Structure 1
Amino acid sequence: MTDATLAATSRHAIGRTGRFIVYAIVGLIGVCLFLAPFLFPDVRSQEVASRICVFIVLVASYDLLIGYTGIVSFAHTMFFGIGAYGAAIALKLMGPTWTALLTGGVIALVVSLLLAALVGMLSLRVKAIFFAMVTLAAASVMAVLASQLSDFTGGEDGVIYKIPKLFSPATKLLTDENGKVLKIFGVSANGKMALYYFVFFGSLLLYLVMMRIVASPLGTVLEAVRENEMRAEALGYRVVFYRTAIFCIAALIATCAGVMRAVWLKYTGPDTSLSFAIMIDILLMVVIGGMGTMLGAIIGATLMSLAQYYLKDLMEIASEATAGIPLLPDLLAPDRWLLWLGILFVLLVYFFPAGIAGTLMKKGAH
C-alpha cells in the first residue's frame, strides 16, 4: 500500500470519526430536548429548552440563506417578529382561542410572504452588500413601527395576552382514578407539558421540512447558485427566482418560529422578537455550528443558549472556588461573563474555522 493510499485512508477515517461525533452530539441534544420536561422540570430549564427549540428553527432557516445560497440578510428577525406580533395581537383582540392563534398565524404568514417577495424581487438583483443593507433598513423600519404603533403593539411595553386553555398549568392532560393529575416520572401531565411539546414538535416539523429542502433538487440548485451564480445562470437556472423563492421560504419558517415563541412567552415586545441582538445571536449560532450544515444549527443554538443562561452561574462558582488566588476571582466575576463568552467564541472560530459541525464533517473529506 502506497503512502498516498495510507494518507487517503487516514483522512477518510478521520472524516468518519468527525461525522460520528457530530451525529452523537446532535442525537444527545435531541434526546435531552425531547425529555426536557422530565430531565429539567424547573422553570428556568424549561425556558432554556424551549428557546433552544425555537432558535434551532431560526438558525437553520437562516442557514438556508447564508449557508446554502450565499444570501446575507439582516431581516430574519423582522419575519420572526411578524409571527410573534401576529399571534400576540390576535390572541389579545380575539381571546385565548385556537381560532385566534390560527388567524394571527395565517395573517402573519401572508404579511411575511408579501414582504419577503417584495424585498427579494427588488433587492436580490443587486450585489450582496447592498442587499444586506436593504434588509437591515427593512428590519429597522419594522422595529420602529412596532414601537410607534402602540395601540396595536403596546409600543416599548409590548403585548401581554392569554393562550389557549389547553396550555394552562391548571389543565389536566392525564388523570388517575381519583381525578387527580397523573404524574409521569414525577412530573405533572398538565398544560405546561402540552405547551412545551407544542413548541418541540412544531420545531421538529419545521426542521424536518428544511432537511427535506436541502436534500431535494432545490437544495442542489441553491448550492450551485452559492458556488457560482454566473455558471448556474448559464446552465439555465433562473437565479433571481430561486434566490427569491428560498428567501420567502426562510421568511415563512422564521414567522412560524415567532408564533411558537409568542405562545410560549405569553408576552411579545421589541426586545423578545425584533431586537437586533437576536439577529446577532442567530449569526453567532450559524458560525459556531457551521454554515451550510443543518446539523450545525442544532449545535450552535444549543451551545450559545446554554452559555447565555448558565455561563454567569459557572463563573460565580469558579470565582468563589478561587477566592484565595490573586486576580482570578476578579477575572472570573459573573459581571465579566460577556468577556469570557467572546473569548470562547474566538477560540471556537480558531479551532473550528468552518464551525463545529462543518469542521468535523468536512475533515478528511478530500
Structure 2
Amino acid sequence: MTTTSTYGSIAVKLMVLLIAAALLFAPFLFQDVRSVEVAARICIFIVLVASYDLLIGYTGIVSFAHTMFFGFGAYGAAILLKQMGPGWGPVVLGGLAGIALSLVIAVAIGLLSLRVKAIFFAMITLAAASVALVLASQLSHLTGGEDGITYSAPDLFKPATKLLVDADGKVMKIAGVRMNGKIAAYYFVFASSAVLFALMLRLVGSPLGTVLKAIRENEARAEAIGYRVVAYRTFVFCISAVVASLAGTIYAVWLKYTGPETALSFDIMIDILLMVVIGGMGTMWGPVIGATLLVIAQYYLRDLMGVAAEAVSSVPVLPELLNPDRWLFWLGILFILLVYFFPKGIAGTAMEKGVRQ
C-alpha cells in the first residue's frame, strides 16, 4: 500500500522548513552585509522561480520571457521612485504599472501564441524578452539606458531610520543587530516573498492546480473532457507574469538600483532555469531548494575554492584546478552531477524515491 506521508516528502519539507527558518533569522545568524544581501536575493528568487514553475512544472509551458515581467515590475518602481522621490506612493503606483503592463503583454502573448507548438511559443517569448531588453537599453531618458537608475527607497528602509531606541535615544540592538531601516528592508523582502509563495502554494493545491497538471500530462485529453486549454494556459501565464512583476518591484525597493543586467538580463533567465531543474519541476518545494543552493554557490563557491586551493597548495596540480577563477567550471560540474543523481531535481527525486509500496 502506498502511504500518503512518505519519507521523501517529509525530508523535502524539513529541508524547506530549515531554509525558511534560516531566512527568517538571517540578519541575526549572519550579521555581515554580504550574507543579508544573499538572504534577500534568495527570498526574491524563490518567488521568481516558483512563479516560473507554475508555467513549466505545472502546465508544461516553456517561456523565456519571465525576466521581462520581472523587469517590468522593477522598472515600474524604479522610474517612479526616481521621478517622484522616496515614498510608498511611487512603490505602489510603480508596482501596479508593472503588473498592468505585464498583464497586457501576457494576455497578448498567451492568446496569440499558446495555440502553437511548444518550441514556437518559446521562440516568441524569447523574441519578446529580447525586445524589452533592447528598449530598456535604448530609452535612456526613461530607463537610464545601460547605466540603469539609482534612487532612494522609502524613508522606513533608510539605514538612519530608528525602529527601536533605548533610553538614551540611540538605536537599540537585539542580539547585536541594530534595529534600523536596513533590518526593516530585509523583513519587507522576506514577508512579501513569503506571502507570494504562500499564495502560489495555495493555488497549486486547489482544483485549478489539478487542471493544470492534467493539461501538462495530456493536453488533448484535457480539452476532450471539456477544459478550455488555451484559456487555462493564458490564465496561468498571466498569474505567473503578475507574481514575477511583483518580485521585480520588491527587488527594486531592496536594491535601490535597477538596470538591464539586474532586471532583464538573459543570465537571470538561465539562473531561473537552473534553479527549477536543480530543485525539481512541478513540486513548488523545488524552487526553494534550487534557488537557495544556486544563489549560495554563486556567492560563496569562489571563496570556498580559494580556501581549498590554499589547503592543498603543496600538492601538485590541485591548487591550479581549484583556482577561484575556475568557479564556473566547477559549478557546471556540480550541476551535471546533480542532474545525474537527481534526474527529477532534488525535491522531485526525493519525493519519488520516498514512496513506500
Distance 2:93 2:239 in 1: 20
Query: Does 2:35 align with 1:45?
Result: yes
Partner of 1:175: 165
Partner of 1:306: 296
Partner of 2:7: 17
Query: Does 2:218 align with 1:224?
Result: no
Distance 1:181 1:336 in 2: 43
Question: What is the one-letter code of the residue matched to 2:57?
Answer: G
Pairing partner for 1:316 from 306, 313, 316: 306
Query: Does 2:295 align with 1:295?
Result: no
Distance 1:27 1:158 in 2: 36
Question: What is the one-letter code of the residue matched to 1:140?
Answer: S
Distance 1:102 1:241 in 2: 29
Query: Does 2:183 align with 1:201?
Result: no
Question: What is the one-letter code of the residue matched to 2:113?
Answer: S
Q: 1:51 to 1:322 in 2, by over 3 A?
A: same
Distance 1:157 1:117 in 2: 31
What do the CA deviations read for 1:194-224 (whole angstroms, capped 9, x no partner)? 0000000000000000001000111010000
Deviation for aligned residue 1:299: 0.2
Query: Does 2:139 align with 1:149?
Result: yes
Question: What is the one-letter code of the residue matched to 2:172?
Answer: L
Partner of 2:335: 345
Deviation for aligned residue 1:17: 2.2
Stretches of structure 2 that go unaligned for 5 or more consecutive residues are: none
Stretches of structure 1 that go unaligned for 5 or more consecutive residues are: 1-7
Distance 2:234 2:168 in 1: 57
Partner of 2:99: 109
Pairing partner for 1:97 from 84, 87, 91: 87
Pairing partner for 1:327 from 303, 314, 317: 317
Partner of 2:47: 57
- What is the SS of the residue equivalent to 2:6? helix
Partner of 1:5: none
Deviation for aligned residue 1:16: 2.2
Partner of 1:75: 65
The sequence identity of aligned pairs, in percent, is 68
- What is the SS of the residue equivalent to 2:285? helix
Distance 1:21 1:308 in 2: 25
Deviation for aligned residue 1:60: 0.3
Distance 1:243 1:92 in 2: 36
What do the CA deviations read for 1:225-282 (whole angstroms, capped 9, x no partner)? 0000011001110000000000000000000000011011100000000000000000
What do the CA deviations read for 1:335-365 (whole angstroms, capped 9, x no partner)? 0000000000000000000000000011143
TM-score of the superposed pair, with normalisation by structure 1 = 0.96
Question: What is the one-letter code of the residue matched to 1:307?
Answer: A
RMSD across aligned C-alpha pairs, in angstroms?
Answer: 1.1
Structure 2 counterparts to residues 187-266 of structure 1, below 5 A: 187-266=177-256
Distance 1:67 1:100 in 2: 34
Question: What is the one-letter code of the residue matched to 2:101?
Answer: V
Pairing partner for 2:76 from 65, 86, 90: 86
What do the CA deviations read for 1:11-46 (whole angstroms, capped 9, x no partner)? x69x82222221121111000000011011111101
Partner of 1:272: 262
Pairing partner for 2:115 from 107, 125, 131: 125
* Greater CA drift, 356-365 or 138-147: 356-365
- How many residues get paired? 356
Distance 1:213 1:17 in 2: 24
What do the CA deviations read for 1:273-331 (whole angstroms, capped 9, x no partner)? 00000000000000000000111110000000000000000000000000010100000
Distance 2:11 2:216 in 1: 27
- What is the SS of the residue equivalent to 1:294? coil
